[in-house]
């Protein structure tokens, strides 16, 4: 027999997951939109991590904003939510690893997550710790959606016959 608390939590989870889905959608849409207008700057931001050749960084920098926007749109409409959240988690994990790499190597760069990124100017200090904490929070949103992908106002729900 279910307790009142279990019934309330069962009713709350779709709303919690909806908040996670829409929050993560906003993150991807904003991040991708800020980069898509200047793909050369996006490439420079990727190259600043010193993990790949400039030619490879140009490709990654050109594809990344479109991938971020695609993930954001899929989450916004709630299509393939668990899969999209898993891809998001993988991408965010790569971002965290890149930031840790830059920090460990002593690089002085802006992560480029919500900006054009690249080398920091004189007197500017990198905010790697804050960037990692922020990305861990985004990773938590992914975790919620992988664990509980059923959300309100989603195309997944429509396709599954939910109201």
Q: For residue 26, how many other CB atoms are within 10 A of its CB?
A: 13
Q: Which of 89-98, 115-124, 138-147 has the lowest mean pLDDT?
A: 115-124
Number of structural domains the chain divides into: 1
Q: Rounded to 5 degrees, what are φ and ψ at 53?
A: -65, 160
List, for residues 13-26, the tens digit of each pLDDT value.
999 999 999 999 99
pTM of the full structure: 0.92
Q: What is the DSSP string of 93-142?
A: HHHHHHHHHHHHHT--EE--SSS--EEPPTT----HHHHHHHHHHHHHHH
Residue 158 lies in a domain: no
Nearest Cα neighbor of 138 from 82, 85, 60 is 85
Residue 100 lies in a domain: yes
Beta strands in the chain (DSSP E): 109-110, 118-119
List, for residues 38-91, the tens digit of each pLDDT value.
999 999 999 999 999 999 999 999 999 999 999 999 999 999 999 999 999 999
pLDDT exceeds 70 at position 31: yes
**What residues make up the domain containing 56?**
11-149
Q: Look-up: residue for tokens 């920090």?
A: 103
Question: What gap in Å lies between CA 127 and CA 134, rounded to an integer?
Answer: 11
Residue 40 lies in a domain: yes
Percent of the chain with pLDDT over 70: 99
Residue 38 lies in a domain: yes
């Amino acid at each position: 027999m279910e307790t009142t608390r279990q019934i309330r939590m069962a009713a709350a989870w779709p709303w919690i997951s909806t908040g996670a889905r829409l929050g993560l959608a906003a993150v991807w849409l904003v991040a991708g939109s800020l980069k898509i207008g200047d793909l050369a700057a996006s490439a420079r931001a990727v190259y600043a991590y010193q993990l790949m050749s400039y030619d490879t960084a140009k490709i990654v920098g050109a594809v990344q904003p479109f991938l971020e926007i695609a993930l954001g749109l899929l989450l916004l409409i709630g299509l393939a939510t668990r899969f999209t959240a898993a891809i998001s988690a993988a991408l965010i994990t790569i971002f965290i690893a890149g930031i840790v790499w830059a920090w460990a190597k002593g690089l002085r760069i802006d992560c480029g997550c919500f900006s054009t990124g690249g080398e920091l100017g004189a007197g500017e200090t990198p905010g790697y710790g804050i960037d990692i904490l922020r990305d861990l929070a985004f990773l938590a949103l992914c975790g919620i959606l992988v664990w509980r992908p059923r959300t309100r106002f989603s195309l997944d729900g429509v396709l599954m016959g939910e109201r």
